[in-house]
């Protein structure tokens, strides 16, 4: 029986997901002011939705790491607005 879609999402290669998030975050950081903050917040919304969908099948250690990543991105977005 094939794995459910949520389990497949939880099994994504963490390194690739981290690197993709890092590249997008750098784009958001290098874009000026409000535009950069909107990019960062869009990343937060997308990753937050993914985290919410995969929460039940994600190991606790990864939950913590992904939650901290979201908090860091929110902090960066707020910094861009100030």
Looking at residue 24, its pLDDT comes to 85
Dihedral angle, C-alpha 64, 68, 69, 70, nearest 10 °: 110
What is the per-residue pLDDT across 14-28, written as a single tens digit (0 to 9) for each?
899 779 878 988 998
Average confidence score pLDDT of the chain? 86
Looking at residue 1, its pLDDT comes to 44
Which residue did the predictor score with more confidence, 9 or 22?
22
Q: Is the pTM higher than 0.85?
A: no
Question: Any residues with CB less than 8 A from the CB of 30 and at least 6 apart, and which?
Answer: 36
Dihedral angle, C-alpha 65, 71, 73, 75, nearest 10 °: -150
């Amino acid at each position: 029986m094939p794995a459910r879609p949520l389990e497949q999402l939880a099994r994504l290669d963490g390194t690739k997901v981290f690197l993709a998030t890092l590249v997008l975050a750098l784009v958001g950081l290098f874009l000026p002011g409000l535009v950069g903050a909107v990019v960062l917040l869009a990343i937060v919304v997308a990753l937050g939705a993914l985290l919410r969908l995969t929460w039940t099948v994600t190991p606790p250690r990864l939950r913590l790491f992904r939650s901290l990543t979201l908090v860091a991105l929110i902090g960066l977005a707020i910094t861009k607005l100030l």
